Amino acid sequence: MKFLKKMIAAIALVPALAFASGGGFALDHAPDRSTDMAALQNGAKLFVNYCLNCHAAASMRYNRLRDIGLTEDQIKTNLLFTGEKVGDLMKTAMAAKDAKAMFGVVPPDLSVIARARSSSEGSGADWLYTYLRTYYKDDTRPTGWNNMVFPNVGMPHVLWELQGTRTAKFVEEKDPHGAGGVTHKFTGFEQVTAGKLSANDYDSTVADLVGYLQWMGEPVQNTRKRLGVWVLLFLGIFFVVAWRLNAAFWKDIK
């Protein structure tokens, strides 16, 4: 009975922990790139170049990228760098113990990260899109970076060369709960050094990467949606036919 009570208490804490990990920061709506093959291909390239060094996607094979329009030769030429084969899983070369020593925790597998981050605050795509766009310099952190969506994040800003360097601006306000303390209200970012991309281009690049991460979580989602439409149409027609047959069968029976 004690064990059951502990389990119930732990489950009850899950929503609160999920919200705390997000920091309560308002999420921006991610552009929908789920059917844009060029965007998904660019997102796959970004994922391999910027994410796969530390994060694995062990549920995804390189040859599945043919579903977003890439040929086997394009996959070999542009996305395989360390001797992998097209049929291999997307695994990282970094050893788990090395990753834990560097970041304090083993970077999570990103196969279904877009689905895992979905919550009442927004979709997983919205979370990722906002997260990757709200990094800022913080010299008090071990990596030198912090994040508005995920405060005290252990992951450095891997896209900083594209976005440039920014700092976050805060103002002190009295504690609204009347505890006598002060809170720090976020008021915006200040660009310190320019990146390789403009702000709009960087947002578009992140949207491509997020679109790919969303697609990777369920590669058949577009097929599922198309089939769903046809299934609903079939059920609608079948309902009308069954209804008329039922009326014809019972018309002479009182």
Provide DSSP, 198-245: -HHHHHHHHHHHHHHHHHHH-TTHHHHHHHHHHHHHHHHHHHHHHHHH
Residue carrying structure tokens 């790919």: 212
Across 128-142, 173-187, 212-226, least confident range = 173-187
Contact 38, 64 (CB under 8 A): no
Residue 183: phi and psi, rounded to 5, are -120, 160
Is pLDDT above 60 for 22? no
Number of separate helices (H) and strands (E) present in the chain:
9, 6
Tell me the mean pLDDT in the region 170-187: 76
How many of the other CB atoms lie within 10 Å of CB of 162? 16
Distance CA 231, CA 236 (A): 9
pLDDT tens digits, residue range 26-65? 999 999 998 999 999 999 999 999 999 899 999 999 999 9
Dihedral angle over CA of 195, 199, 200, 206, nearest 10:
70
* pLDDT given at position 189: 96
Task: State pTM to two decimals.
Answer: 0.78
Tell me the mean pLDDT in the region 196-209: 97
Distance CA 18, CA 13 (A): 9
Tell me the mean pLDDT in the region 60-72: 94
Is pLDDT above 50 for 226? yes
Is pLDDT above 80 for 228? yes
- Helix (H/G/I), strand (E/B), else coil: 85: coil
- Helix (H/G/I), strand (E/B), else coil: 112: coil
CATH topology of domain 25-219: Cytochrome Bc1 Complex; Chain D, domain 2 (1.10.760)
* pLDDT given at position 44: 96
Is pLDDT above 90 for 221? no
Q: Which helix (H) or strand (E) holds 59?
A: strand 57-61
* pLDDT given at position 2: 43
* pLDDT given at position 179: 63
* pLDDT given at position 177: 65
- Helix (H/G/I), strand (E/B), else coil: 176: coil
Q: Domain-by-domain residue ranges, the chain? A: 25-219, 226-254
For 186, the token pair is 């976020």
**What percentage of the chain exceeds 90 in pLDDT?**
55
The model's confidence at residue 169, banded by pLDDT at 50, 70 and 90, is: very high
Query: C-alpha 57: how far from its chain's center?
Result: 13
* pLDDT given at position 19: 36
Helix axes 199-217, 124-131, angle to 10 degrees: 140
pLDDT tens digits, residue range 78-137? 898 767 889 999 988 788 888 888 777 888 999 999 999 987 677 899 999 999 999 999
Residue 42 one-letter amino acid: N
Is pLDDT above 90 for 198? yes
The model's confidence at residue 10, banded by pLDDT at 50, 70 and 90, is: very low
Is pLDDT above 50 for 71? yes
Angstrom CA distances, 34 to 116, 149, 181, 207, 223, stand at: 17, 23, 46, 10, 11
For 52, the token pair is 């796969």
Tell me the mean pLDDT in the region 195-224: 92
Dihedral angle over CA of 136, 139, 143, 147, nearest 10:
-30
